[in-house]
Amino acid sequence: MKDTVQAGLNYWKKNNVWILGTLVGIVTFICIFGVHVLNVTYTDWLLGGGDLTQNYLGWCFFRNSDWFFPFGLMDNASYPNTVSVIFTDSVPLFAVFFKIFKAVLPDRFQYFGIWAMLCMGAQGAFGALLIYHYVKKKAEAIVGSLLFVITPAMLGQMSLNLALGAQWLVLCSLYLGIRRMEISEKRLVLAWGIAGLLTGSIQMYFIPMCGFVLLSFLLSDLLRRKKIRQDILALLAYLGAAVGVVALLGGFSHNHMPDTSQFGQSSFNLNGLWNPQGWSQYLSDLPVYGANPSEGLAFPGTGIVLTLIVAAAACLIHTIYKVFIKKEKKLTHLRFDWGENGVA
């Protein structure tokens, strides 16, 4: 019993940063969205139109369709043609899992509330881990994780396209990158393989996003002439897993006609990082291009913008002090010693 308690205390001491970060995300989710959306039989909140309704109806069609191979295909959404659940943004990872139990599920069933809560919890967990990696202070990391959870780019997608709420995948990729030298090659390759499986089975937009993060670390190691074997293996594992799971979900099983009429209408504006688009009480909205620029919302929040400004100013002051003032003090001290020795 004593050994079990000690093991539990050791686990808590080692992992309490990400555990408490997860709790920050979950509590924030409940405060904003409430607990009623966690009721798997409550579907009214998903039937107000827009992408949320599309996400839910995609799951309904997929659930009531026969099984096919690849596993993500359904034939009742565009009969007699088959289409993949990937393209309804219904979080295929959950859709396939819960379809296995469709015979015992209630007539009205939704998993999107649980999914959204898990996303905000994971956002808090990886946000806390990233902060702790640099500041090495647990309290600051846990409190700071809230900034990742309530960033407008996160909350905006949580009420627009639930599959895109998995922004913790990008944070996870960053964390794997900065810890790559501390993780064994086998574990790193396995971790990136799992990341590929998740990106491909949640929302394909995350495949290039997380892939570019991995490529940036590979390029960094290449420029610094470090061993890049594990980076290349990680990239191969990531791409292989992502492409493989998309294939199993039917992402390549039918042809799509590209629609270029809306090109640039739902994309990222160059002022996106500091354009609040209605998400700030203090900063004014800036002009945008396109009919639906909210799809490219990237404003991190007024708090984070101010934090970045203060941090940039602090780095500049530190650099000036180190390069000029500290150097001048050192030269003055050397001149003083030179004179004291009577040589001057």
Q: pLDDT at residue 75 above 80?
A: yes
pTM value is 0.86
Q: What is the pLDDT of residues 175-219, one digit of tens each?
A: 999 999 899 999 999 999 999 999 999 999 999 999 999 999 999
184 and 219: one domain? yes
Percent of all residues in the chain with a pLDDT value above 70, rounded to a whole number? 91
* Pairwise pLDDT comparison (87 vs 297), residue with the higher score: 87
Amino acid symbol at 286: L
CB count within 10 Å of CB 265 equals 13
The model's confidence at residue 259, banded by pLDDT at 50, 70 and 90, is low
The model's confidence at residue 311, banded by pLDDT at 50, 70 and 90, is confident
Please identify, among 71, 91, 110, the residue that sits at the C-terminal boundary of a domain.
Answer: 110
Phi-psi category of residue 342: left, alpha or beta, with phi > 0 → left and psi -120 to 50 → alpha: left
Beta bridge partners of 73: 84
**Omega cis (within 30) before 70:** yes
**Amino acid 86: pLDDT:** 94
Q: pLDDT at residue 323 above 90?
A: no
The model's confidence at residue 280, banded by pLDDT at 50, 70 and 90, is confident
Please identify, among 254, 288, 318, the residue that sits at the C-terminal boundary of a domain.
Answer: 254
In which residue are the tokens 């292989």 written? 240
**Amino acid 340: pLDDT:** 53
C-alpha span between 44 and 89 (Å, rounded): 18
Question: 132 in a domain, yes or no?
Answer: no
Question: 146 in a domain, yes or no?
Answer: no
Q: pLDDT at residue 244 above 60?
A: yes
- Distance of CA 73 to CAs 86, 108, 120, 162, Å? 9, 21, 29, 20
What average pLDDT does this structure show over 226-244? 93
Question: 1 in a domain, yes or no?
Answer: no
For residue 119, which phi and psi values (nearest 5 degrees)?
-65, -45
Q: What is the pLDDT of residues 24-44, one digit of tens each?
A: 999 999 999 999 999 999 999
Please identify, among 89, 110, 131, the residue that sits at the C-terminal boundary of a domain.
Answer: 110
The model's confidence at residue 262, banded by pLDDT at 50, 70 and 90, is low
244 and 174: one domain? yes
Q: What is the pLDDT of residues 103-123, one digit of tens each?
A: 999 999 999 999 999 999 999
**Amino acid 328: pLDDT:** 58
Tokens representing residue 284 in the block:
């004014």
Question: 13 in a domain, yes or no?
Answer: no
Write the DSSP symbol of residue 143: H
46 and 88: one domain? yes
200 and 239: one domain? yes
Average pLDDT over the chain reads 88
Region of poorest pLDDT, from 84-88, 208-212, 224-228: 224-228
174 and 101: one domain? no
17 by Cβ neighbours in 10 Å (0-12 / 13-18 / 19+) ranks as: buried
**Amino acid 296: pLDDT:** 75
Q: Which domain holds residue 99?
A: 41-110
* Pairwise pLDDT comparison (133 vs 290), residue with the higher score: 133
214 and 199: one domain? yes
225 and 243: one domain? yes
Region of poorest pLDDT, from 18-32, 237-251, 293-307: 293-307
**Amino acid 77: pLDDT:** 85
Question: 174 in a domain, yes or no?
Answer: yes
316 and 294: one domain? no
Q: Which is nearest to 197 in space by CA: 228, 172, 218?
A: 172
Question: 77 in a domain, yes or no?
Answer: yes
178 and 188: one domain? yes
Q: pLDDT at residue 344 above 60?
A: no
What average pLDDT does this structure show over 54-69? 94
* Contact (CB, 8 A) for 192 and 207: no
277 and 340: one domain? no
**Amino acid 260: pLDDT:** 60
Question: 68 in a domain, yes or no?
Answer: yes
Question: Number of folded domains in the chain?
Answer: 4
294 and 310: one domain? no
278 and 338: one domain? no
**Amino acid 304: pLDDT:** 80
- H/E stretch holding 195 reads helix 185-202
Question: 279 in a domain, yes or no?
Answer: yes
What average pLDDT does this structure show over 151-168? 87
The model's confidence at residue 286, banded by pLDDT at 50, 70 and 90, is confident
